[in-house]
Amino acid sequence: MRIIAIANQKGGCGKTTTAINLAASLAVNGRRVLLIDMDPQAHATLGLNVSSELCIYNVLSRLTDRKIALSEAIIPISERLHIVPSGIVLSTLEQELSGEIGRESCLLDALNEAPLEYDYILIDCPPNLGILTINAIRASSELIIPTEASRFSLEGINQLIDIVNLIRERLNHRVEYKILITSFDSRLAHSFDMLKKIREGFSHNLFNTIIHVNVKLKEAQNKGSHIINYNKYSRGAKDYFSLSREIISQEELFPMSAITASQEQKQQKQKEVILTLTAPQAKEVFLAGDFNKWQINDWARMEPKEDGIWFKRLQLKPGCYKYRFVVDGKWIKDPVNPNYQMNPFGSMDSLFEVKEE
Ligand SMILES: Nc1ncnc2c1ncn2[C@@H]1O[C@H](COP(=O)(O)OP(=O)(O)OP(=O)(O)O)[C@@H](O)[C@H]1O
Ligand SMILES: [Mg+2]
């Protein structure tokens, strides 16, 4: 598993755009990806149209009365792309941790608590060098520094590299960093001047891929989607796909750890469940439940089969689950399941149990 932080204290340089679209491109390449939103602005969370009461704050805080494990905060976006969302409450963590010993390692501790079944974990950082960014770098083995080709960006990169060096000296943790040029405008001569300067200063630590200015990237973020869903033929989609290939080509330098014995045990504990709904007239059917935090997204989409039957295959641990179907935008309970209960909105949730045996 490769854990990559995406950080730069400069605001608006393309951290979140890179986190979302690189994660989606790695997933398209068959990699299992977890995106952790470590920014209280929650732009990655919003940019993937996720809303959740519980977030990374509930994983990292010791004061919250709703403490959860990292694995409990995960929300599936599609088959291979999952997210741990953020929320504004995360902004209080900085102060909360100020007096704590080991405050730089909270995220690392949470990641170590239970093995996770991903090939990549990407961490989107806030625009500062505070404790949240330091936690992200401490938990990572690699760091991507998105940078626009402008004069002031260069000063910021040096400050960030100072932090990387400090983490190596004080915490004995080595992180490989690489700079990614973002929002590159090839119509401006100035862009090429700055690119030359960055190449001179950081030639060994620069991605070959350059991310060009592309309005489709902005539009996708505003629509709550990643670029591959929004417009896979756009320049932005091609650039991020090419970045994902460049990162994948370095996999032998960062060996992907094999699934550990405990992960195998965990996988074995999960059971396959298939839910079906007969809806011959429906154009689109989703399955939402507490197992996916009630999100309507690609992951929740049910597949149509012959005879108007829609189905969804789930891998779930033993336990009791609530669910509803969303048929062409209308929420309904399972019409053939006699087990249901009223929810706080006054409608019915269907229920099922995954048994140990
Ligand atoms: N290559 C690009 N082409 C066009 N627009 C872009 C590109 N990259 C990012 N943007 C837009 O620029 C704005 C800032 O980008 P983004 O949110 O990714 O930056 P950030 O570094 O995460 O910001 P913050 O520091 O606030 O977290 C967004 O509106 C985004 O859609
Ligand atoms: Mg951001």
Burial of 96 (0-12, 13-18, 19+ CB in 10 A): middle
Average pLDDT for 118-138: 95
The answer to whether 90 touches 40, Cβ cutoff 8 Å, is yes
Q: Is ligand 1 within 6 A of the CB of residue 217?
A: yes
Half-sphere exposure of 203 (CA within 13 A, CB side): 2
Closest approach atom of ligand 1 to CA 184: 1
Residue with the bigger pLDDT between 153 and 10: it is 10
Chain centroid to Cα 85, Å, comes to 8
Residue closest to 20 by CA, chosen among 50, 44, 41: 44
pLDDT above 90 (res 153) = no
Average pLDDT for 273-299: 94
- Quick: pLDDT tens for 179-199: 999 999 989 888 898 899 888
Residue with the bigger pLDDT between 307 and 253: it is 307
The strand pairing partners of 81, in sequence order, are 33
Ligand 1, atom 30, lies closest to the CA of 218
- Quick: pLDDT tens for 316-357: 989 999 999 999 999 999 999 999 999 988 999 999 999 887
Q: How far apart are CA 138 and CA 118, in angstroms?
A: 19
Mean pLDDT rounded to a whole number for the chain:
91
- State the pLDDT at residue 218: 95
Q: Is ligand 1 within 6 A of the CB of residue 244?
A: no
User: 272 Cβ partners below 8 Å, 6+ apart?
Assistant: 313, 314, 315
pLDDT above 60 (res 85) = yes
Residues with CB under 5 A from ligand 2 (ion): 15-16, 43
Give 302's pLDDT tier (boundaries 50, 70, 90).
very high
Task: Report CA torsion sign: 215, 221, 227, 233.
Answer: negative
Q: How far apart are CA 348 and CA 332, in angstroms?
A: 8
- State the pLDDT at residue 179: 95
Q: Is ligand 1 within 6 A of the CB of residue 223?
A: no
Ligand 1, atom 17, lies closest to the CA of 16
Q: Can you read off the two tokens belonging to residue 27?
A: 């997933």
- State the pLDDT at residue 255: 58
Q: Is ligand 1 within 6 A of the CB of residue 218?
A: yes
Q: How far apart are CA 22 and CA 34, in angstroms?
A: 11
- State the pLDDT at residue 262: 45
Q: How far is the CA of 20 from the centre of ligand 2 (A)?
A: 10
Q: Can you read off the two tokens belonging to residue 60?
A: 């990292």
- Quick: pLDDT tens for 205-234: 999 999 999 999 999 999 999 999 999 999
Give 260's pLDDT tier (boundaries 50, 70, 90).
very low
Q: Show the domains of the chain with their CATH numbers.
A: 2-248 (3.40.50.300), 270-354 (2.60.40.10)
- Quick: pLDDT tens for 19-39: 999 999 999 999 999 999 999
